[in-house]
Structure formats: C-alpha cells, structure tokens
C-alpha cells in the first residue's frame, strides 16, 4: 500500500512543536482539526453565536502564543479544553460584572430585575413545544454555578470521561462526579414543573 504524504495525520503535539518554531501551516492544521469542538464547548457555555466565534478566535490566539512554552504532559485536546474553559469562565465573569454596572438598584441579594420578572411568569405547560423546551434547558444550564456547568457540559455534551474533565478543570474525579450530580439535581428541580407528564 503506497503512502500518500498528504494523508498522514500528524499528532497534535508534533504540530505544536512546529507552531512553536513559527510554522503557520501547522497552526492552520490544528485550527482546522479542533475548531468545531472548541466552538461547540464555547457556544454551549456562552449561547451567543457571534461571541462564541470571537472567543474561538481568542482561544486559538492563546494557543499560538503559548506554543513556545507548551509541554505535552497531556493530550493536546485536553490542554485546549483547559484553555477554552478558562476563557469561558473569564468571559462570564466579565459579563456578570458588566451587568452589575448596567442594572441600577441591583442589590447583592436582589438579583437582576429582568431575570426576576421572567422567573415570575408561569408558562402555559400545554403550549411548550420542543424549541421552547430546549431553550428552557439551555437557560437552566446557563444559570448553574460555573464549575457545575462546565463539568456537565464537558461530560454530557462533549462526551469527556470524568478523568478528562477532572484534568481540564484541575480537580479530582470525585469532585467532577459530585459537580455533575449536583448539576443534574439542580436541573431536575428547576425544570420539573415544565416537564411534568
């Protein structure tokens, strides 16, 4: 069987070594290989397409800048998920700070008045179609604490093992199991009234 050099799949860690030496083609290959997964994680976390696209660009810019210091102690994809996760957490913190500045009369315990109003309105259970249910689930996930949300997204939607999630979030497997369990329980409680049979 003849080998076609164009068909050889170079390992990510080798591509990162090339990127560290200024090889833009290697960077493009990494970008093409991992763009969809990075975008998927960011979009599920942020929920806004244009912001997700911007954050993917920022994530890969960080990958490019970090290439000279990159140490392949873990799989590249695990390291990339760590970069993406940290970027999402920083983005959410910044957005929360911006919202606090914009909402006048927003006490520490008062919360966002618009969110309180939305929570007070009871939807008609019979009129919930599939799209509305998906939106409600997404909103409930977005309201989870950061660490629970990321553990759930990575394990449930990105099919990462508990071990991989623990490595990405820099915690223990037991902590990841606890985070995902609490996230699921919180979602069950928040969504039970909307999904009663």
* CATH number of the domain encompassing residue 188: 1.10.10.10
Q: What is the pLDDT of residue 69?
A: 92
Cα–Cα dist 56/83, whole Å: 10
Nearest 5°: the CA angle 56, 78, 65 is 50
Helix (H) or strand (E) holding 44: helix 24-46
Q: What is the pLDDT of residue 24?
A: 94
Cα–Cα dist 164/173, whole Å: 9
Note whether 91 and 126 are same-domain residues. Answer: no
The segment with the largest mean pLDDT, out of 67-71, 82-86, 115-119, 166-170, is: 67-71
Residue 178: pLDDT over 50: yes
Note whether 26 and 102 are same-domain residues. Answer: yes
pLDDT tier at 96, thresholds 50, 70, 90: low
Asked, for residue 2, whether it belongs to a domain, the answer is no
- Top pLDDT among 113 and 58 is at 58
Cα–Cα dist 158/37, whole Å: 8
Q: What is the pLDDT of residue 129?
A: 67
User: What confidence tens digit (pLDDT) does each residue in 13-47 have?
Assistant: 999 999 999 999 999 999 999 999 899 889 888 88
Q: What is the pLDDT of residue 113?
A: 41
| Domain housing 60 | 9-106
Instruction: Identify whether the C-beta of residue 61 lies closer than 8 Å to the C-beta of residue 80.
Output: no
Cα Rg of the chain (Å, integer): 20
Note whether 95 and 168 are same-domain residues. Answer: no
pTM score, whole prediction: 0.56
Note whether 135 and 74 are same-domain residues. Answer: no
Least confident residue range of 95-109, 110-124, 143-157: 110-124
Asked, for residue 4, whether it belongs to a domain, the answer is no
Contacting residues for 37 by C-beta, under 8 A, at least 6 apart: 77, 80, 158
Share of the chain above pLDDT 90, in %: 30
Cα–chain-centroid distance for residue 117? 27
Instruction: Identify whether the C-beta of residue 106 lies closer than 8 Å to the C-beta of residue 112.
Output: yes
Note whether 42 and 98 are same-domain residues. Answer: yes
Asked, for residue 36, whether it belongs to a domain, the answer is yes
User: What confidence tens digit (pLDDT) does each residue in 120-137 have?
Assistant: 444 444 445 667 777 787
Show which of 106, 131, 164 is a domain's final residue. 106
Q: What is the DSSP string of 52-102?
A: HHHHHHHHHHHHHHHGGG---SS-HHHHHHHHHHHHHHHHHHHHHHHHHHH
- Top pLDDT among 122 and 190 is at 190
Q: What is the pLDDT of residue 57?
A: 95
User: What confidence tens digit (pLDDT) does each residue in 66-91 have?
Assistant: 999 998 877 888 889 888 988 888 88
Provide the number of structural domains found in the chain: 2
The gap between the terminal CA atoms of the chain, to the nearest Å, is: 58
Note whether 98 and 158 are same-domain residues. Answer: no
């Amino acid at each position: 069987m003849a080998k076609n050099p164009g068909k050889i799949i170079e390992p990510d860690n080798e591509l990162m070594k090339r990127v560290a030496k200024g090889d833009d083609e290697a960077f493009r290959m990494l970008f093409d290989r991992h763009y969809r997964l990075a975008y998927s994680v960011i979009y599920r976390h942020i929920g806004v397409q244009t912001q997700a696209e911007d954050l993917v660009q920022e994530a890969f810019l960080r990958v490019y800048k970090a290439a000279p210091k990159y140490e392949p102690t873990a799989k590249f994809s695990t390291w990339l998920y760590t970069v993406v996760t940290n970027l999402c957490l920083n983005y959410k913190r910044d957005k929360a700070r911006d919202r606090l500045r914009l909402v006048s009369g927003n006490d520490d315990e008062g919360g966002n008045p618009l969110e309180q109003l939305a929570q007070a309105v009871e939807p008609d259970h019979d009129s919930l179609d599939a799209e509305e249910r998906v939106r409600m689930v997404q909103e409930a996930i977005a309201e989870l604490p950061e660490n629970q949300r990321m553990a759930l997204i990575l394990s449930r939607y990105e099919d990462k093992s508990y071990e991989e999630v623990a490595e990405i979030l820099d915690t223990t497997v037991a902590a990841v199991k606890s985070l995902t369990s609490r996230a699921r329980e919180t979602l069950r409680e928040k969504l039970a009234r909307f999904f009663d049979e």
